[in-house]
Chain A
Amino acid sequence: MYIYIVKRLLFLIPTILGIILIIFAVMNVTPGDPGRAILGVSARQDEVDALNHQLGYDLPFLQKYVNYIKNIVTKGDFGISYFTKQSVFDEIWPRFVLTIKLALCGILLSTLIGVPMGIYAAVKQYSLYDTIPSLIAFFIASIPGFVLGMVLLYVFSLKLNILPSYGAKTIRHLIMPVFAISISAAAQNMRFTKSSMLESVRQDYVRTARAKGLPESTVIWKHALKNALLPVVTQIGLNLGLLICGAVVIEKLFSLPGIGGLIVDRISFKDEPVIIAGTILIAVCFTIVMLIVDLVYAYIDPRIRAKYSRTSTK
């Protein structure tokens, strides 16, 4: 088991190297440079070139790649932002924490809303308890997140004036953004749970359990549910990626200083150090969550657990 975890974490290293390579490559093939972006349209080309040189942007692509990795490995240094000259780590960390807070709250809320509703809808299939929530979930999942965010902004900030419209100072500031990013994930969770639950109810062992004369609630909660939750757990893990992407828009809408918004802002400045470090953090986070998902999976499903323990004893 531990070996498996260590192996997965070790795989992070080539992943990160790959990410750095991809980003340098993408930045390299796309036109534009930080010098021009920082100095603006009216700057002269020689000034722009001078600034690019000063920033180290004009180095050959491979040399930049090697230097970057060397600095991280030997000094733990993620470099200095081209744009603000701040240490990249200082700039990114607080924003990363905020985004993760937002995403985790989003996962929690979307799971708490979506999964129970999905189960309930599956149990009461074809009744009004199924069709109405399913329909609503359908519509909500089809609304772009920013439209929902704008509606929230107008209702709760402007009309009711009970929630602040910008910033991330207090918990109250986070209510609307969390709600806005989790609502469509909740709708997806609900649909996913429902279909997974329906599938699991049809399995042979559930039928066997029913045939044995076990009470319906035991059949549902003990037998069907446990199996139905397996794919749901993966779905919830995958939601994290979705939420981080969704957060970009919500962060912009609610003026939240999050990492998604930061990376997106800096793309047009070609602020490579910030873009790379931010992406690495997100990737590490994503990998860890997927690892946790796998572990939870193993915990729920004894078959998989058995497989892991076998491989680890080999």
Chain B
Amino acid sequence: MKKFLALFFTLSMLMAVFCGYAGSAEAAENADKVLTVRTSSSMQSTDWAQTTHLADAQILWQNVFEGLYGMNEARGGYYHSLAKDVKISEDQLTYTITLVDATFQNGEPLKASDVVFTYKRALDIPRLKYLTSMLDTVSALDDKTVVFKLKYPYSAIEHTFFSIMIYSEKEVKAIGDSFGTKPHKAGTGAYYIDEYDPASSVKLKAHEGYWRGAPNIKNIDVLLITENSAAVIAYENGEIGYMHDAPTSEWEELVRASDGRNKMIKGNNVRTFYINYESKSNNAILANPLVRKAIFYAIDKETINKISTGGYGSVADEYMPSEYVKTSPPASAGGFEVYKYNPEKAKSLLKEAGFTDEQLKAGVPVGTILTYGATTGEKAKCAQVIQSDLSKIGLKSEVQVGDINMTSPMFHSYEYDLGIYGDSGNFDFNNIRQMVHSESKGMDLVRYKTDDSPFDWRRIEELLDLGVSTSDVEKRVVYYTELWKIVMDTATILPLINMPIGVVWGADVDPGAINPSYYQFFEFSWK
């Protein structure tokens, strides 16, 4: 028996040594392995607060920096990230948050003072006002506890906790004014920026002291490949390990080359169609609700989807996809009008509005469909399909695709007739405020509150406030359903499609769960 045991121990020890050796060899091999990731635009800044590109945020948010909350759309919404424990007071005005034991990439431990520093910095940035305007004070109770005092109850604050990424006060102060223009170790994320060359690539290295454990993949090269077809070829040649938002026009080629290592999901974004009811075009024809409704019924979203996304996207009846945004009222519940494609109804609405067959045959002008982005981009495609749809019911329109600089002032000062606009990255239905509330002037595209407004803007604004007064999701959905019903009945905003997000990865990579907006390299591993 003893002998047997001895043999067993020796064997197991040998095994352990052997495995340990093998393991370390594998680890050594993995330590040099590099995951190449494609990006389509050059990174504007290494500071999350100074960049506005989603492509940059995808790298910087959650991989380099982390917020108090994290976001995982695939698993459903927000989760506690740097916040270990959150206590909300009775009146919903005080949030007391204890922090996890995290270490910054520069080796400093995460302290409450870093959080206070970060929020103070964020409060100074006007662009982030929509995230911080409800905050009254942010203070450190002790080394690990932060207290947030709110001006008014605001249940959508989760989005703020997610969006404000915590800096190391020491690192940011050490780098000074040039923070954002060079590599740094100011985040708590699983990777730090080792090399930053906006012209060609960003190199990430694993943060070995990451609080959730050392990441499996040690080196990541984010390569700038501006041309879609070049990126597809690079993937087919095995030069790219992970490509998010891969070009859908060459999706079939990618599927063929990826041998099952691909996924196409619905994006958390929306392309919307707007009608400016205040437009003066053709004797203010768009002020007539019958005409607006006719236009909405004439729009064939299926065809739009087919043409602008190759059919890979999905028809949108909700402003924010309810599967990603839990506070978004689902269209399936039937709480609001979705204007299902119905050209016959559109025609009869136009007749009801007083247009004769002759007029419609000749084409009644309704103005210009304004949009921005590339002339071959999805928004320009939407515009052209809608133009064609409208011509089928006897309405004549033009298409104008302008530079973003030129079009956005036109949109925000309500100087357009019809428009196509894109929105993405909404994780709480309260974000609709920027489209429908009168205080959002400069961000919205339709002015609901005017002296002689035909709409019930008071109720809209009331419902927005009610929506954030409670953190009960079901109650919020009820408020938002009523809100969205009012908005849809105005026939001014029509969600068209959700763009698809195609993801492909390399033979030796396991990307874990695929998220539509943000990916986390921490969850990736070598196969």
Contact between chain A and chain B defined by CB under 8 Å: yes
Q: How far is the CA of A47 from the CA of B408 in the complex (A)?
A: 14
| Contact call A42/B198, Cβ cutoff below 8 A | no
| Contact call B405/A270, Cβ cutoff below 8 A | yes
Flag whether B224 is at the interface (Cβ < 8 A).
Answer: yes
Flag whether B223 is at the interface (Cβ < 8 A).
Answer: yes
A85 and B233 in contact, given A42-B434, A166-B223, A253-B227 (Cβ under 8 angstroms): no
Residue of B nearest to A265 (CB): B42
Q: Mark B412-449, 1 if CB is under 8 A from A, else 0.
A: 10000000010100000000001000001111000000
| Contact call A33/B227, Cβ cutoff below 8 A | no
Instruction: Determine which of B234, B406, B443 lies in contact with A165 in the assembled complex, contact meaning CB atoms within 8 Å.
Output: B234
Q: How far is the CA of A38 from the CA of B404 in the complex (A)?
A: 10
Q: Mark A146-184, 1 if CB is under 8 A from B, else 0.
A: 000010011001100100111110000000000000000
Flag whether A212 is at the interface (Cβ < 8 A).
Answer: no
| Contact call A50/B126, Cβ cutoff below 8 A | yes
| Contact call A45/B229, Cβ cutoff below 8 A | no
CB distance from A180 to the nearest CB of B (A): 13
Q: How far is the CA of A45 from the CA of B126 in the complex (A)?
A: 11
Q: How far is the CA of A284 from the CA of B404 in the complex (A)?
A: 32
Q: How far is the CA of A53 from the CA of B257 in the complex (A)?
A: 49
Instruction: Determine which of B200, B233, B423, B443 lies in contact with A44 in the assembled complex, contact meaning CB atoms within 8 Å.
Output: B443
Q: Which residues from chain B contact A154 at a C-beta distance below 8 Å? A: 233
Instruction: Determine which of B52, B181, B223, B411 lies in contact with A86 in the assembled complex, contact meaning CB atoms within 8 Å.
Output: B181
Flag whether A10 is at the interface (Cβ < 8 A).
Answer: no
Q: Mark B4-31, 1 if CB is under 8 A from A, else 0.
A: 0000000000000000000000000000
Q: How far is the CA of A43 from the CA of B178 in the complex (A)?
A: 24
| Contact call B403/A268, Cβ cutoff below 8 A | yes
| Contact call B237/A32, Cβ cutoff below 8 A | no
Q: How far is the CA of A33 from the CA of B126 in the complex (A)?
A: 17
CB distance from B182 to the nearest CB of A (A): 9
| Contact call B126/A47, Cβ cutoff below 8 A | yes
| Contact call A84/B198, Cβ cutoff below 8 A | yes
- Count B-side interface residues using an 8 Å CB cutoff: 44
Q: How far is the CA of A122 from the CA of B230 in the complex (A)?
A: 40
Instruction: Determine which of A37, A45, A91 lies in contact with B405 in the assembled complex, contact meaning CB atoms within 8 Å.
Output: A37
A20-55, CB < 8 A from B: 31-33, 36-47, 50-51
Residue of A nearest to B239 (CB): A164
Residue of B nearest to A267 (CB): B403
| Contact call A166/B199, Cβ cutoff below 8 A | no
| Contact call A86/B230, Cβ cutoff below 8 A | no
Residue of B nearest to A42 (CB): B443
A43 and B181 in contact, given A36-B408, A153-B233, A166-B231 (Cβ under 8 angstroms): no
Q: How far is the CA of A87 from the CA of B198 in the complex (A)?
A: 12
A253 and B230 in contact, given A41-B404, A268-B404 (Cβ under 8 angstroms): yes
| Contact call A41/B421, Cβ cutoff below 8 A | yes
Instruction: Determine which of A85, A95, A255, A262 lies in contact with B227 in the assembled complex, contact meaning CB atoms within 8 Å.
Output: A255
Q: Which residues from chain A contact B223 at a C-beta distance below 8 Å? A: 166-167
| Contact call B198/A31, Cβ cutoff below 8 A | no
| Contact call A165/B230, Cβ cutoff below 8 A | yes
CB distance from A149 to the nearest CB of B (A): 9
Q: Which residues from chain B contact A41 at a C-beta distance below 8 Å? A: 372, 404, 407-408, 411-412, 421
Q: How far is the CA of A86 from the CA of B181 in the complex (A)?
A: 6
- Count A-side interface residues using an 8 Å CB cutoff: 46
Q: How far is the CA of A266 from the CA of B57 in the complex (A)?
A: 20
Q: How far is the CA of A95 from the CA of B409 in the complex (A)?
A: 33
CB distance from B125 to the nearest CB of A (A): 9
| Contact call B406/A32, Cβ cutoff below 8 A | yes
A39 and B52 in contact, given A45-B442, A252-B226 (Cβ under 8 angstroms): yes
Flag whether B375 is at the interface (Cβ < 8 A).
Answer: no
For A47, A150, A265, the residue with the greatest tally of chain B CB atoms inside 10 Å of its CB is A47
CB distance from A80 to the nearest CB of B (A): 9
Q: Mark B158-185, 1 if CB is under 8 A from A, else 0.
A: 0000000000000000000010110000
A32 and B434 in contact, given A40-B52, A45-B412, A166-B227 (Cβ under 8 angstroms): no
Residue of B nearest to A161 (CB): B237
Q: Which residues from chain A contact B129 at a C-beta distance below 8 Å? A: 44, 47
Q: How far is the CA of A44 from the CA of B406 in the complex (A)?
A: 15
Q: Which residues from chain B contact A91 at a C-beta distance below 8 Å? A: 198-199
| Contact call B442/A46, Cβ cutoff below 8 A | yes
| Contact call A252/B234, Cβ cutoff below 8 A | no
Q: How far is the CA of A54 from the CA of B389 in the complex (A)?
A: 45
Residue of A nearest to B440 (CB): A44
Q: How far is the CA of A230 from the CA of B442 in the complex (A)?
A: 61
A165 and B233 in contact, given A44-B443, A85-B181, A255-B227 (Cβ under 8 angstroms): yes
A164 and B229 in contact, given A41-B372, A42-B423 (Cβ under 8 angstroms): no
Q: How far is the CA of A46 from the CA of B440 in the complex (A)?
A: 11
B24-59, CB < 8 A from A: 42, 44-45, 50, 52
Flag whether A257 is at the interface (Cβ < 8 A).
Answer: yes
Flag whether A94 is at the interface (Cβ < 8 A).
Answer: yes
Q: Which residues from chain A contact B421 at a C-beta distance below 8 Å? A: 41
CB distance from A120 to the nearest CB of B (A): 36
B221-253, CB < 8 A from A: 223-227, 229-231, 233-234, 236-237, 239
Q: Which residues from chain B contact A167 at a C-beta distance below 8 Å? A: 200, 223, 225
Q: How far is the CA of A161 from the CA of B237 in the complex (A)?
A: 7
| Contact call B423/A166, Cβ cutoff below 8 A | no
Q: Which residues from chain A contact B50 at a C-beta distance below 8 Å? A: 85
| Contact call B408/A84, Cβ cutoff below 8 A | no
Flag whether A68 is at the interface (Cβ < 8 A).
Answer: no
CB distance from A97 to the nearest CB of B (A): 11
Residue of B nearest to A167 (CB): B200
Instruction: Determine which of A31, A150, A255 lies in contact with B225 in the assembled complex, contact meaning CB atoms within 8 Å.
Output: A255
Residue of A nearest to B444 (CB): A42
Q: Which residues from chain A contact B233 at a C-beta distance below 8 Å? A: 153-154, 157-158, 165
Flag whether B75 is at the interface (Cβ < 8 A).
Answer: no
CB distance from A248 to the nearest CB of B (A): 12
Flag whether A78 is at the interface (Cβ < 8 A).
Answer: no
Flag whether A83 is at the interface (Cβ < 8 A).
Answer: yes
Q: Which residues from chain B contact A33 at a C-beta distance below 8 Å? A: 405
| Contact call B442/A257, Cβ cutoff below 8 A | no
CB distance from B78 to the nearest CB of A (A): 22
Flag whether B345 is at the interface (Cβ < 8 A).
Answer: no
Q: How far is the CA of A270 from the CA of B403 in the complex (A)?
A: 12
| Contact call A255/B226, Cβ cutoff below 8 A | yes
| Contact call A83/B412, Cβ cutoff below 8 A | no
For B181, B199, B404, B443, the residue with the greatest tally of chain A CB atoms inside 10 Å of its CB is B199
**A-B pairs with the 6 shortest C-beta distances?**
A32-B405, A257-B199, A44-B442, A47-B126, A41-B408, A165-B230
Q: List 10 A-B contacts (CB under 8 A).
A: A31-B405, A31-B406, A33-B405, A41-B412, A43-B442, A45-B409, A157-B234, A165-B231, A166-B231, A268-B404
Residues of chain B at the chain A interface (Cβ within 8 Å): 42, 44-45, 50, 52, 126-127, 129, 178, 180-181, 198-200, 223-227, 229-231, 233-234, 236-237, 239, 372, 403-409, 411-412, 421, 423, 434, 440-443
Given A42-B434, A91-B198, A158-B237, 19 more pairs with CB closer than 8 A: A32-B405, A41-B407, A42-B443, A43-B127, A44-B129, A47-B126, A51-B127, A85-B45, A153-B230, A157-B230, A164-B239, A165-B234, A167-B200, A168-B200, A252-B226, A253-B227, A254-B230, A262-B199, A265-B42
